[in-house]
């Protein structure tokens, strides 16, 4: 991380903290509805611009996801008097939940590791991510689909590690009991299972009350609610890609998610017919993952790769891995020197 990005991180963190303190104060004083929404408007307006303070692509996309997506929808829900935020939450908890991918557990907590994924699982995923990054040196000789598969693995492993780290930090510092962010998406048996119950669960946790339920109540149609959720998700992915490329949206991500929404609605319609054929679980999982991967290769990755943003991300990752290796080698050398000197 460059010195400029360190300063930007400190500045953005300070701005977000002050903004969320103001939001909590406004929510305590104003009733839900238009008064709250009007009071929140300055914060809602500034949050999408804060990620642009970073030069590093990965900092832009991570902060964009936290602030321009999750935080925006959480504040809209709070303006309407809905959770997960509530002005009665302690201030540190309120700021953490408002500005991060943190979902407070509402059911009886299970005995889980304080590190979310677990130290062993986290170490394995970090090692796998390092392997993926190291394989990028051969990307010029790779088949395109193999390279895209590495990109997909990179996204999944990075999200798992970043979200698990954030959850672990909140659990350790604030003593919060948190919901998991992923539930083994590689076992998904359908699109509904993948997007609704397994992949990046912070997103459906805010889109369900903020988009699905109002649209369903307004139109009296569950399929319309599902399509609206996928449309909004597509638009938000367009914004995330804009943070990566710093270029205008292309609409491809929106097409991808509208397509997935239509297929999810079709899945639901088909599932209502108990006597109709459906693939066994052993076939359903690879079919679902193949559909997600193929459509992502077609519509999600091209706008990122078109202007070389993927190469910038790879360079950042390679620099980070090299730095960590150097730190590890230095630490190992220091330990070896101390051990040799004491023996």
What are 203-248's pLDDT values in tens digits?
999 999 999 999 999 999 999 999 999 999 999 999 999 999 999 9
Same domain, 147 and 228: no
Q: Considering the domain boundaries, does residue 16 fall inside one?
A: yes
Q: Considering the domain boundaries, does residue 332 fall inside one?
A: no
Q: Considering the domain boundaries, does residue 252 fall inside one?
A: yes
Contact status, residue 71 vs residue 236, Cβ threshold 8 Å: no
Counting DSSP H helices and E strands in the chain, the numbers are 15, 0
Contact status, residue 171 vs residue 114, Cβ threshold 8 Å: yes
Q: Judge whether residue 87 has pLDDT over 50.
A: yes
Structural domains of the chain, count: 3
- Nearest-10 crossing angle of helices 144-174, 91-99: 170
pLDDT mean over 128-143: 89
pLDDT band at 180 (very low <50, low <70, confident <90, very high): confident
The number of beta carbons lying within 10 Å of the beta carbon of residue 296 is: 18
pLDDT at position 19, please?
A: 96
Q: Judge whether residue 93 has pLDDT over 50.
A: yes
Same domain, 192 and 307: yes
Q: Considering the domain boundaries, does residue 334 fall inside one?
A: no
pLDDT at position 151, please?
A: 92
Q: Considering the domain boundaries, does residue 339 fall inside one?
A: no
> Using CA atoms, how far apart are residues 299 and 241, in angstroms rounded to an integer?
12
What are 320-332's pLDDT values in tens digits?
777 667 766 666 6
Bridge partners (DSSP) listed for residue 104:
178
> Using CA atoms, how far apart are residues 260 and 242, in angstroms rounded to an integer?
21
Same domain, 175 and 192: no
User: Tokens in use for 116?
Assistant: 């979310």
If one compares 235 and 273, the residue with the highest pLDDT of the two is: 235
Q: Judge whether residue 110 has pLDDT over 60.
A: no
Range of the domain at 168: 112-182
> What is the pTM for the complete model shown?
0.87
pLDDT at position 272, please?
A: 87
> Using CA atoms, how far apart are residues 276 and 278, in angstroms rounded to an integer?
7
Same domain, 142 and 50: no
User: Tokens in use for 58?
Assistant: 């990965």
Same domain, 216 and 236: yes
Same domain, 70 and 53: yes
pLDDT mean over 161-179: 77
pLDDT above 90: percentage of residues in the chain? 57
Residue for token pair 């993952």: 289
Q: Considering the domain boundaries, does residue 133 fall inside one?
A: yes
What are 56-81's pLDDT values in tens digits?
999 999 999 999 999 999 999 999 99
Dihedral sign of CA atoms 309, 312, 316, 317 in order = positive
- Of 182, 203, 238, the residue that ends a domain is 182
As a residue count, the chain comes to 343
Same domain, 242 and 266: yes
pLDDT at position 274, please?
A: 81
pLDDT at position 1, please?
A: 58
Same domain, 197 and 167: no
- Nearest-10 crossing angle of helices 3-29, 91-99: 120
Same domain, 5 and 55: yes
Same domain, 87 and 135: no
Three-class DSSP labels, 247-286: CCCCCHHHHHHHHHHHHHHHHHHHHCCCCCCCCCHHHHHH
Same domain, 21 and 74: yes
pLDDT at position 103, please?
A: 74
pLDDT above 70: percentage of residues in the chain? 88
Q: Considering the domain boundaries, does residue 319 fall inside one?
A: no
Q: Considering the domain boundaries, does residue 343 fall inside one?
A: no
Same domain, 33 and 89: yes
């Amino acid at each position: 991380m460059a010195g400029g990005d360190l300063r930007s991180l400190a500045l953005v963190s300070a701005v977000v903290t002050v903004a969320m303190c103001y939001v909590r104060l406004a929510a305590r004083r104003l009733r839900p509805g238009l008064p709250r929404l009007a009071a929140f408007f300055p914060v809602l307006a500034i949050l999408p611009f804060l990620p642009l303070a970073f030069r590093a692509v990965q900092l832009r996309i991570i902060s964009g996801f936290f602030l321009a997506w999750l935080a925006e929808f959480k504040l809209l829900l709070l303006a309407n008097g809905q959770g997960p935020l509530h002005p009665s939450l302690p201030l540190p908890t309120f700021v953490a939940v408002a500005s991060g991918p943190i979902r407070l557990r509402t059911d009886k907590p299970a005995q889980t590791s304080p590190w979310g994924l677990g130290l062993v699982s986290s170490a394995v995923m970090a090692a796998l991510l390092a392997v993926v990054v190291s394989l990028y040196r051969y990307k010029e000789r790779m088949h395109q689909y193999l390279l895209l598969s590495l990109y997909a693995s990179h996204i999944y492993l990075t999200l798992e590690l970043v979200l698990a780290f954030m959850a672990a930090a909140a659990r350790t510092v604030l003593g919060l009991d948190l919901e998991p962010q992923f539930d083994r998406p590689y076992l998904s048996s359908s699109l509904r299972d993948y997007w609704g119950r397994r992949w990046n669960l912070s997103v459906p946790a805010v889109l369900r009350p903020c988009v699905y339920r109002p649209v369903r109540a307004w139109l009296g149609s569950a399929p319309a609610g599902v399509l609206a959720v996928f449309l909004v998700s597509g638009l938000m992915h367009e914004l995330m890609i804009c943070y990566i490329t710093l270029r205008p949206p292309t609409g491809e991500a929106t097409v991808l998610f509208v397509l997935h929404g239509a297929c999810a609605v079709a899945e639901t319609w088909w599932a209502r017919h108990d006597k109709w054929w459906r693939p066994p679980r052993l076939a359903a999982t690879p079919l679902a993952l193949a559909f997600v991967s193929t459509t992502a290769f077609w519509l999600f990755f091209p706008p990122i790769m078109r202007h070389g943003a993927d190469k910038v991300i790879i360079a950042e990752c390679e620099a980070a891995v090299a730095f960590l290796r150097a730190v590890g080698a230095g630490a190992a050398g220091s330990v070896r020197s101390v051990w040799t000197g004491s023996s």
